Amino acid sequence: MLKGEPMKEDLLAKIAAKVSVQLELKKEDKLLDICCGNGALTKLLLPYCDEIVAVDFSEKLIDNAKQFGSNRIQFICENATEFSLNQSFDKVLLYFSFQYFESYEEGKQVITNLIKHARSGAIILIGDITDKRHFFNYYNSPKKLFHWIKQRLINKNDMGKFWHPNELLKICDELNVEGTVIKQELWQPYAHYRFDFIIKTNS
């Protein structure tokens, strides 16, 4: 799949099915979907749970997402590091976007906020995280490396932070929750340089 090319619906549906298994979604579950973007993945998760609250910082993307009409999905424009919904959820998802929290401190702040909104014994999935161990699986050509260096010189970075799994495990240790690194399956489009991460809150 080429950069910038929209993900095909059948592949996105397969990812949604995979997410439902990883989160152990049940028909009665209330799901929180953070960094939901235009809601393309969100709407495909609706058959697996009871209701979804979906959050993104982009007003434009949230407006687009709201065009998908369902009284079982609520779309909210808020920042992942700061939102407060005064409610808790059975399952929590953050997919495709963790790389854009570009420091350890910001990543910890996001995870802290996810945990704050998770019920006792909830499952949190942070999916499709760029993997520092496989940095050169993505930057695999002189052209890509030159682009990365050029962006660093102007303090910009299209791809965001490449996280080491140990950083997320350390955050979980500091927050007293259980974290597990999950290797992506080969059919997943970015499996050669990304991983998933499961957090289980205390019962």
Res. 2 pLDDT band, cuts 50 70 90: very low
Q: What pTM did the predictor assign?
A: 0.94
Residue 190 has pLDDT above 60, yes or no: yes
Give how far Cα 82 sits from Cα of 77, 110, 190, 191, Å: 11, 8, 29, 30
pLDDT (tens digit per residue) in 5-63 = 678 889 999 999 999 999 999 999 999 999 999 999 999 999 999 999 999 999 999 99
Query: One-letter amino acid identity for 45?
Result: L
Domains, the chain, in order of start with CATH, read 9-132+162-200 (3.40.50.150)
DSSP assigned state of 70: -
